[in-house]
């Protein structure tokens, strides 16, 4: 996904009109949530290689290697990197991409909503194609 398309996807996510009622099946929902949890667990263990393996090819290309990836997550996504509490909320579809909303409590006790943009791979697995964080009390979406 090109950067401009990514920004358009985020804009659509933040706009209630951009949400689709298209359902995601239970098996895909479980696979998506398992992927997210597995990456969060890898971050907790500082396992850069495993965490990087759950990123989509686009994200892997953007960050180039596991060490760089985990360093950027560590610096800019503390709520993801050291989530103290993880609660899955709604799963919607925007422009054909499932967006899993996750309530995360960070190491400082503050809460955010993480919008995980998911991408199905050719083998049927799910990868994380981006994460957008906003304050949990933010009512913009």
| pLDDT tens figures, 69-111 | 999 999 999 999 999 999 999 999 988 889 999 999 999 999 9
Q: Please count the other Cβ atoms lying within 10 Å of the Cβ belonging to residue 13.
A: 22
- Given this model, what pLDDT does residue 136 score? 84
Q: Is pLDDT of 119 > 80?
A: yes
Q: Is pLDDT of 3 > 60?
A: no
Q: Is pLDDT of 123 > 80?
A: yes
Q: What is the pLDDT of residues 6-59, one digit of tens each?
A: 444 554 444 444 444 445 789 999 999 999 999 999 999 999 999 999 999 999
- Establish how many alpha carbons lie within 13 A of residue 78's alpha carbon, considering only the half-sphere containing its beta carbon: 9
Backbone angles phi, psi at 105, to 5 degrees: -105, 125
The domain segmentation of the chain, as residue ranges, is: 3-135
- Given this model, what pLDDT does residue 111 score? 95
Vertex 108 angle, CA 105 and 110, to 5°: 45
Q: What is the pLDDT of residues 67-79, one digit of tens each?
A: 999 999 999 999 9
Residue among 82, 137, 128, 89 at smallest CA distance from 105: 82
- Given this model, what pLDDT does residue 73 score? 95
Q: What is the CATH number of domain 3-135?
A: 3.10.450
């Amino acid at each position: 996904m090109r950067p401009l398309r990514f920004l358009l996807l985020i804009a659509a996510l933040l706009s209630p009109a951009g949400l689709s009622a298209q359902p995601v099946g239970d098996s895909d929902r479980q696979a998506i949530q398992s992927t997210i949890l597995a990456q969060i667990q890898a971050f907790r263990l500082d396992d850069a290689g495993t965490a990087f393996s759950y990123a989509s090819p686009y994200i892997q290309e953007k960050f180039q290697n596991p060490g760089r990836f985990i360093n950027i997550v560590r610096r800019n996504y503390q709520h993801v990197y050291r989530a103290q509490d993880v609660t899955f909320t709604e799963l919607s579809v925007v422009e054909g991409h499932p967006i899993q909303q996750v309530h995360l409590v960070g190491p400082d006790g503050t809460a955010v909503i993480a919008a995980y943009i998911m991408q199905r791979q050719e083998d049927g697995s799910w990868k994380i194609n981006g994460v957008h964080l906003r304050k949990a009390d933010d009512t913009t979406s």
